[in-house]
Amino acid sequence: MRKKGKRQKGFTGTKSVLIWSGIAILFIVTLSLGYLLYRDLVTVPDKEEQYIVHKRKIAIIIDDIGYDLWPVQEIISMTVPITLAILPHCPYSTESAERAYRAGKEILLHLPMEPSNYPEKNPGEGALFISMSDGDICHQLDANFKSVPHVSGVNNHMGSRFMEDEKKLEVVLKILRGKKLFFVDSYTTKNTKGQEVARKVGVPFAGRDVFIDNNSSFVDTMEILEKMIDKRGNWQTLIIIGHTYKSTIQALKKAIPLFEASGIEIVSLSELMG
């Protein structure tokens, strides 16, 4: 009986050790899981993660290229990606596109379209009008693409009337879809059907956010660009459009280092197209 009692006592002691060991392990596991959960809730992302989350990006388009070559050379000389929107059938349309392409710059066909105040305001050669048949639109677009090669997409020149005509715009965007091109709406009318038709047809779409030079004033353009920097907490990406004014080129040259110093990245238009 005594030996049996001793064996019972030893067994009880071993059982107690196992129980307490299990409790200790469970306690440690619980503490570990609690710490991991707490860390995930309160830990601030490291500097690299913060940089990615808060990075601001701008794509720059310069419209109305094709009448002379000096803006092309100025843009090519800039190290940041700037998109050239080239008008068709101008004296230097094709050469501008070829030079920009060789320099690795992105190119748009700056497509003339009928404005609401036509014929008082003339969109220029190669324009699309709502009076055109679907076949005429296709023929004119084909000629425009031959005048401006190497394009990644299209944006409208004027077009405050044409961009409001859903049926005519659908003809244009279906052609772009067939060529795997994107469309950028310059927003020359608040009643544009651009985004609606692009979604319907299945064409990559983006819209202009800011015109930086409604006049050719260096001071005014710089003010707009500096305001973008000051208000960078209010936006994530911007597509900005300027024109071939010397004042605009000068303002961009001055503003680009300010953008970079403020953590704003100048990116290609295609990057913002997603």
| pLDDT per residue as tens digits for the range 206-219 | 999 999 998 889 99
Residue 156 has pLDDT above 90, yes or no: yes
d(CA 2, CA 102): 100
For the record, the structure tokens of 247 come out as 């004042």
| pLDDT per residue as tens digits for the range 97-145 | 999 999 999 999 999 999 999 999 999 999 999 999 999 999 999 999 9
What pLDDT shows up at residue 22?
A: 62
What pLDDT shows up at residue 31?
A: 57
Q: Which of 157, 45, 169, 154 is nearest to 108 (CA)?
A: 154
What pLDDT shows up at residue 47?
A: 40
Using a pLDDT cut of 90, give the percent of the chain over it. Answer: 78
Summary mean pLDDT of the chain: 88
Q: Furthest-apart CA pair in the chain: how many Å?
A: 120
C-alpha angle 86-92-95 in degrees, rounded to nearest 5? 85
Q: pTM for the complete prediction?
A: 0.80
Cβ-proximal residues to 126 (8 Å cutoff; 6+ apart), any chain = 87, 88, 89, 111, 112, 140, 143, 144, 147
Q: With contact defined as beta carbons under 8 Å apart, do 184 and 240 qualify? A: no
For the record, the structure tokens of 76 come out as 């090519």
